[in-house]
Amino acid sequence: MQLKHLFIHTIILSIFLTTKVKSQDGQYLKMNPIWHYVQETNYGLGEDWKDHINYQVSDSTIINGKMYYEILKTGYKEHNWYFSQSNSGQEITPFNEIEGYIRVENDTMFAFDNGFEYSLYNFSLSIGDTSFSESVMGYQNLGIVESIDTIHLSGLNLRRFYFENSLDHLIEGIGTHHGLFRPSIGIEWIGDLQCYQLGNNIYLDTIGFPQLTSPNECLTNVSISENGKNPIIIFPNPASTIIYFEKLNDSKGFIYDFSGKLIMELEESESSANISQFKVGLYCFKTIKNGKSFSATFVKK
């Protein structure tokens, strides 16, 4: 009788553990995750570049019979030059493009690029294992796992792997602190992870080269439309004088304060707005594209 109860208990425990592992295998991709990165390039020759990048899951698609999540890249690039007092300035260029496709199966994250699938990360590593990442450039050795801990986000336990003699670390579902697509899969080097949002929880990365000091700063550099698909890009955010956005094209823009009062109306040809006279606070930018309403928030500081 005792053996029978023990056998039944073992089966139930086995089912519970199997279900628990399965439920987390890629589940984070279904919870509207957002990655925020900053990439800086300075050659010391009188000019520098700084990218503010957000990744988000935009849609799902079937490729070669497998379901992938489409990763949308939004943000803007700052180009500053200061060759002399008379030859200095700043150029800001927004971007809004599909960066790649990812999927997770059996604790392995795969990326699809240029007709091929690559194994980006293995999240089932143990201490002493060597982590490899595959790309069009071949295999890269990320290091030997020295220790493992767990971070808790929106009901999920995500494993974080630390490597010997390195600041590099790998987080389940997030990637390394250098970027979701590291090493490059035919796209650019990303820089340093600043924060990651999953559901209503925010993970603030403090191990690499952080520029943020609190979760409240997460994702504020680039405003993402609440509609997700084809987002409105507003930058910089927060802002004190001018905000920039992609040219409206065949649609007007409207800025409301947090009480819902219309503060400013923007014409179709405009791609910036002077908010220097606005009171400090949170505002909503709205427009209509292809018959659909889109909105994004920004902060006047």
pLDDT value of residue 177: 76
- Report yes or no on 227 lying in a domain: no
- Report yes or no on 9 lying in a domain: no
**Residues 298 and 237: beta-carbon distance below 8 Å:** yes
Half-sphere exposure of 108 (CA within 13 A, CB side): 12
The pair of structure tokens assigned to 193 is 């992870």
**Residues 185 and 113: beta-carbon distance below 8 Å:** yes
Q: Is 74 exposed, middle or buried (0-12, 13-18, 19+ CB in 10 A)?
A: buried
**C-alpha angle 210-51-290 in degrees, rounded to nearest 5:** 125
Could you tell me if 209 and 264 lie in one domain? Answer: no
3 state SS of 108: strand
> Cα(15)–Cα(9) distance, rounded to whole angstroms?
10
Terminal Cα-to-Cα distance of the chain (whole angstroms): 71
pLDDT value of residue 113: 81
* The total number of structural domains that make up the chain: 2
- Report yes or no on 14 lying in a domain: no
Domain span at residue 251 reads 234-300
Half-sphere exposure of 182 (CA within 13 A, CB side): 21
- Report yes or no on 110 lying in a domain: yes
pLDDT value of residue 108: 92
Could you tell me if 92 and 47 lie in one domain? Answer: yes
Could you tell me if 65 and 201 lie in one domain? Answer: yes
pLDDT value of residue 125: 92
pLDDT value of residue 185: 39
pTM strictly above 0.85: no
pLDDT value of residue 13: 33
Could you tell me if 82 and 212 lie in one domain? Answer: yes
Could you tell me if 151 and 242 lie in one domain? Answer: no
- Report yes or no on 254 lying in a domain: yes
Displacement of CA 216 from its chain's centroid (Å): 16
pLDDT value of residue 63: 94
pLDDT value of residue 213: 60
In the block, residue with structure tokens 């089912």: 15
Edge-to-edge strand ranges of the sheet holding 130-135: 130-135, 138-153, 156-163, 169-171, 175-176
pLDDT per residue as tens, the chain (301 positions): 444 443 333 333 333 333 333 435 688 998 888 888 887 777 677 888 888 888 888 888 999 999 999 988 887 788 888 887 788 887 777 777 888 899 999 899 999 887 889 888 999 999 999 988 876 566 678 889 999 998 888 888 899 998 988 777 889 988 887 777 754 434 444 577 888 888 778 887 776 555 566 665 665 545 544 444 445 777 777 788 888 876 666 678 889 887 778 899 988 778 889 999 999 888 888 887 766 777 777 888 8
pLDDT value of residue 199: 78
The pair of structure tokens assigned to 249 is 């094209």
Could you tell me if 154 and 268 lie in one domain? Answer: no
- Report yes or no on 102 lying in a domain: yes
Could you tell me if 145 and 260 lie in one domain? Answer: no
